[in-house]
Amino acid sequence: MATLKDVAAKSGITVTTVSRVLNNRGYISDETRKKVYAAMKELNYQPNEIARSLSKQKSTTIGIIVPHIDHPYFASLIRYLEIEAAKNGYKIILCNSQGKFEKEIDYLEMFQSYRVAGIILCSSSVDIGKFVSLHIPVVSIERPVDVGTTSVECDNYQGGVLAAKHLIEHGCKYLIHFSGIENEKMPADDRCRGFLDVCEKENVLHKEVECKADNYVSMEYHSLIERVLKDNPLVDGIFASSDLIAAQVIQVARKMKISIPEELKIVGFDDVNIASLTSPTITTIHQPIKEMAHEAIQCLIKCTGHSVVPSKIQLPVSLVKRETT
């Protein structure tokens, strides 16, 4: 692989001057610049980014931790994070914690060793307070806020409100909400609060069903849904806290010969591609994933090199009407 020295030898110019051309430092004549570029091109020279990072003690890499790379929500989020990072000249290192605490710790330490420019945490449970003291900006997306981090969320409460109102307006008399994971405090829990507040205010029969961590990790909800539908034959409206769950409600209802939307109406959450790919398509709460990714990356870039300022960025949601209601 060609080095700076090779470029200097080829162009007949000193190493110092070649380095000044590369780093755009000081006055360089057009003629010299052209000679250096010609030699670089001929030798297929690539500046060594590892050396550059070292001299700057900082890379242009952003570390991202997600719990499930192939969950449709995270797949969509990663897509937009990568696009936003690339727009700003940053690369992403993607890590999958599989929801495991130890893996998250390992990855966070790795990011520290790599002198990443910042970290985006979409995973659950690590106390990231110590990273704050190391001046690595950390932005979390849809997870509980730690002291000293920035959190990007959608308006989960409003999402729950919109879902419940929509089902009630469409004549539902008995609503069930498949909510977040039991014993885990997440911003998504506010979806349930919004749902419950509307049901109570409108005096509509309702029930919350908490999912298990196992359901979340395996992305498998069928048996839970079947049990709930059998135990509650009068249910006519379901608000699922993800499109993934909503898709499985459709499947179970079909098996039980419950027609959608005639006998059972369903509202999902996220508005990821699965919501448009099921039959019938899923009415859902649109989470502005693209905009959340944009805010998270912008926020990281602003923080780079400075202490992290505690703050929260909340973006609005909206209801997308499709065929399940």
Separation CA 250–CA 323 (nearest Å): 11
Contact flag: residue 282 with its own copies (CB under 8 A): no
Q: What is the closest distance, in whole angstroms, from the C-beta atom of residue 92 to its own copies in the complex?
A: 6
* Position among 129, 171, 280, 305 found at the interface with its own copies (CB under 8 A): 280
In whole angstroms, the minimum distance from the beta carbon of 253 to its own copies comes to 8
Q: How far is the CB of 205 from its own copies (least distance, A)?
A: 27
Residue 109 corresponds to which tokens in the numbers above?
């330490």
Furthest CA-CA distance within the chain? 85
Contact mark string toward its own copies, 103..142, x via CB under 8 A = x-----xx-xxxx--------------x---x--------
**For its own copies, the closer CB: 157 or 221:** 221
Q: What count of other Cβ atoms lies within 10 Å of the Cβ of residue 281?
A: 17
Q: Which residue has the tokens 């520290």?
A: 112
Among 273, 310, 311, 321, binds its own copies (CB under 8 A): 273
Give the distance, in angstroms, between the CA of residue 53 and the centroid of all CA atoms in the same chain.
26
Q: Which CB, 181 or 260, lies closer to its own copies?
A: 260
3-state SS class at 126: coil
Output the CA–CA distances (angstroms, integers) from residue 19 to 35, 41, 57, in the order listed: 13, 15, 18
C-alpha span between 289 and 315 (Å, rounded): 9
x/- mask, its own copies, residues 193-222, rule CB under 8 A, reads: --------------------------x---
Residues paired with 152 in a beta bridge: 141, 313
- What tokens appear for 176 in the block? 């069930």
Residues 6 or more apart in contact with residue 212 via CB below 8 angstroms: 181, 182, 224
Binder of its own copies out of 15, 16, 23, 49 (CB under 8 A) = 49
For its own copies, the binding residues (CB under 8 A) are 1, 44, 46-51, 53-54, 59, 61, 68-70, 72, 75-76, 78-79, 82-83, 86, 91-96, 98, 103, 109-110, 112-115, 130, 134, 219, 244, 247-248, 250-251, 254, 273-274, 277-281
